Amino acid sequence: MLDKIAGIEARYDEIEKELTQDAGNYQRVAELSKERSELQEIVEKARAYRDALKRQAEAKELAYGNDAEMAELAEMELAELDEQVPRLENEIKSLLLPTDPRDKRNVIVEIRAGAGGDEAGIFAADLYRMYTRFAERQGWKQELLSTSATGVGGYKEVTFLLKAKGAFSRLKHESGVHRVQRVPATEAQGRIHTSTATVAVLAEVDEVEIKIPESDIRMDVYRSAGAGGQNVQKNSTAVRLTHLPTGIVVQCQDERSQLQNRLRAMAILRARLYELEEEKRRSEQEAARRSQVGTGERSEKIRTYNYPQSRVSDHRIGYTSHNLPALMDGDLEELFDELATQDEADRLAAAGM
């Protein structure tokens, strides 16, 4: 680890010199300043770590010396440094891990009803409310992109955008199959049913980052089947985009104009294609850590929401909460922190740190 941070420190010092030499080259100064800001935190931690190691070694010598008064003071400092050194070491290890370029982006979330009929659609609507309530707690902006209602208060599919710096980093572990166990409102005999919904979390992508040739897209327009008044019903405002090379299909019908529906559909398509490329890259680098949404079958699950016992269990990290109403109302901070901590531990282990 010391060898790695030595190289980073050397580059930081080199940037400092270049900034002085190229002061008149504004573009170069901007580039160097950006690189310096990216390295600054780890360099400061590294220097604090080296200083703590030096003080720790000195304190150990004094602690075993002949001067009783100095030995006592050294023992007190050692107790403090023995906590500080491993803490700084762990912080540096975290900073040395490669960052996910998507972490600071806005996030597009797609929720689809899985196994379980109407109850699966109602559960999809519950998950949609859970995430949007979490977003409200964070003060994030929200935008509904696409819906397909079931007619009984649920969704076959709902896609929405959450706008905030770092939104993707907070929700990226939510991709997968979510399972609910409860007595549906339509169940006359009080039997507990098991249903599922799938969640896909995608980073929003700018148009300049992914160029999609027009020849790769087939666009079909049709009349909206949802609410929207006579204008929507009489005109073909709904849009279906098919990406021919991959077969990905995106539909949007909630806006009143064909143009707006197409813009929204393109945003979703870009996010899906970006995720597809990221998945290929991850599978090549970390085959063991590939994450997939799955098919929606009951046996594939990342989390179970058990209503009779008011329990939520995340099966990947062994997390359990017995306050299901609070979580369904968007109180997800603790769970998301646990998921992020486990993810970091896994990446540190994979990197041999």
Q: How many whole angstroms separate alpha carbon 327 and alpha carbon 316?
A: 17
Residues 59 and 123 in one domain: no
Residue 117 lies in a domain: yes
User: What is the reported pTM?
Assistant: 0.71
Kindly tell me the burial class for residue 105, based on how many C-beta atoms sit within 10 Å of its own C-beta (0-12, 13-18, 19 or more): buried
| Full residue range of the structural domain in which residue 194 is found | 107-347
Residue 238 lies in a domain: yes
Residues 164 and 200 in one domain: yes
Q: State the total domains in the chain.
A: 2
Let me know: does 111 contact 212? Beta carbons within 8 Å: no
Residues 111 and 12 in one domain: no
Query: Which residues in the chain belong to E strands, given as ranges?
Result: 107-113, 141-149, 155-163, 176-182, 193-203, 217-222, 238-243, 248-252, 303-306, 311-314, 319-321
Backbone angles phi, psi at 218, to 5 degrees: -110, 125
Per-residue pLDDT in tens (0 to 9) along the chain, 353 residues: 777 788 888 898 889 888 888 777 788 888 888 888 888 888 999 999 999 999 999 898 888 878 888 888 888 899 999 999 999 988 888 888 777 778 889 999 999 999 988 999 999 999 999 999 999 999 999 999 989 998 788 999 999 999 999 999 999 999 999 999 999 877 767 889 999 999 999 998 877 677 888 899 999 888 776 544 444 456 778 899 999 999 999 998 878 888 888 988 999 999 999 888 887 876 765 553 344 445 555 556 999 999 999 999 999 999 999 999 999 999 999 999 999 988 888 887 777 76
